[in-house]
Amino acid sequence: KQEVTQIPAALSVPEGENLVLNCSFTDSAIYNLQWFRQDPGKGLTSLLLIQSSQREQTSGRLNASLDKSSGRSTLYIAASQPGDSATYLCAVLISNFGNEKLTFGTGTRLTIIP
Amino acid sequence: NAGVTQTPKFQVLKTGQSMTLQCAQDMNHEYMSWYRQDPGMGLRLIHYSVGAGITDQGEVPNGYNVSRSTTEDFPLRLLSAAPSQTSVYFCASSYSSVPYEQYFGPGTRLTVT
């Protein structure tokens, strides 16, 4: 059974710092890995998707990497801003006899201190 | 496009009552799914559908029913609500092809008393 872990559960950093969020998964047979942002009381917003054949994806100040062999992904946020405060979730997509299933980590709650 | 929409946003039920959470998408996605989110447990898959007329169980299906009569709609039914079903429910959809990017609705916050 696929298990996804995100450590730490919570992180506080001063504004302007660069930071890295970690995601690890137990089964490397994945289709893709997706990073989401969730604001309190809100839904999930997709940030980046890395396909299994890719090593990284970038969007603005965000860069996500994927190392399937070691079962790890990182989300790098450059020059953090208070508006980046949110919970960040990673999820891996696997296929089971043609049925695709997404398994989520429990998230990292990020606080950017002004 | 409206994307993935969910109604209602909030709902309070008494134990034993039934209700249907609505989910609709206008992106012509084949794949739709329902998750529940509980503190400390992340999002867990309840039911999913790979197309109209096809549904299957996820990780936590007990107490929930689904059907998919159209590509656009995927309602989730609680037949007899229990306090353990207090949670936030999210609907998601995607194409059934690479890159399988998932799009989520805004969620329904359900409280069962």
Q: What are A47-87's pLDDT values in tens digits? A: 999 999 999 999 999 999 999 999 999 999 999 999 999 99
pLDDT in tens, B57-102: 999 999 999 999 999 999 999 999 999 999 999 999 998 877 788 9
Q: Do residue B50 and residue A99 have CB atoms under 8 angstroms apart?
A: yes
CA B33, CA B46: separation in Å to the nearest integer? 8
CA distances from residue A107 to A99, B48, B108 in whole angstroms, order as listed = 24, 22, 20
B 51-90 residues inside an 8 A Cβ radius of A:
56, 58, 90
Indicate the residue of A31, A43, A89 with minimum beta-carbon distance to B100: A31
Q: What DSSP character marks residue A60?
A: T
Of B106, B101, B108, B107, which is closest to residue B29 (Cα–Cα)? B101
pLDDT at B1: 79
Taking the CA of residue A2 and the nearest CA in chain B, the distance in Å comes to 12
Q: Which are the contacts of B90, defined by CB distance < 8 A and separation ≥ 6?
A: A43, A44, B6, B34, B35, B36, B37, B43, B104, B105, B107
Q: Which helix (H) or strand (E) holds A37?
A: strand A32-38
